[in-house]
Amino acid sequence: MESQLSLSAIQTDLFWEDKAKNLQQLAEQIEALPTTDIIILPEMFTTGFTMAAEKFAESMQGETVEWLCYWAEKKQAAIGGSTIIKEGDSIYNRFLLVDPSGEIQYYDKRHTFTLAGEDKAYATGKNDGLVNYKGWKICLRVCYDLRFPVWGRNTSDYDLLIYTANWPHKRIDAWDALLKARAIENMTYCVGVNRIGTDGSNLTYPGHTTVFDYMGEVIGSTTEHQGGSTTVTLDKAAMLLARKKLNFLNDRDRFTLH
């Protein structure tokens, strides 16, 4: 187990439904990052939050997965973010995490955003989104999942909770409050990576990419409405010591999700 894990979160504008431009832009941003263990990109980083799922869906052997594998190996870091993946007859908003060895772990968004019709374009995910990297148990979640605390509840003693998102300006106060709440109630590091700019649906995104520690303190953030990144070092030993001292998770409710 590695007690410390460095994490970089990239906050960027996205070219609407233009995979080539987005991958080129992100490649430049990834190249410029300092040495880090894990790199997180926004939700639907190849297209923006489009409902044209069939048009932009790729397979797990497609260009975007190959691109992630290339950069994970080059930077010797795990790289993750959500993109549009088709398997069988279903299309998912899938949060991929690719490590330097080429191992691919993923989570399919469970709570599709009905207000935008995401439930009609994308299938509902069924997997738990718990992955492992460098001895850290990581819980992957996507955007709208943030509004459902039971789905993020730390019943499995994960060490890090990550949300990748396209969260608009008009509801950004909820983003800030809920990310902090998820960190506090689960006594875990909580990362929220959001985009900036305006998309093809004329929604504006302010960023507010933030890293909270297990007590709800901000340990990393980016400037509102500006592209950039934040890199932080997470300390598992310190987090576990705080959990042992306070024992809040020992009093959590027991339940089963269906």
Q: Where are the alpha helices (DSSP H) in the chain?
A: 19-31, 53-56, 63-75, 118-121, 149-152, 172-186, 236-246
109 is catalytic: yes
Q: Of 19, 43, 86, 236, which residue is the catalytic one?
A: 43
Any idea which residue has 């700019």 for tokens? 197
Any idea which residue has 């187990």 for tokens? 1
CA angle 136, 65, 87 (to 5 degrees): 100
* Cα 256–chain centre separation: 24
- Classify each residue of 100-121 as buried b or exposed e, where b means 16 or more C-beta atoms within 10 Å of its C-beta: beeebbbbbbbbbbeebebeeb
The answer for residues whose C-beta is within 8 angstroms of residue 183's C-beta and 6 or more apart is 161, 189, 190, 212, 213, 214, 215, 216
Q: Of 19, 118, 139, 143, which residue is the catalytic one?
A: 143
Q: Of 86, 109, 180, 236, which residue is the catalytic one?
A: 109
43 is catalytic: yes
Query: Which residues are catalytic, by number?
Result: 43, 109, 143
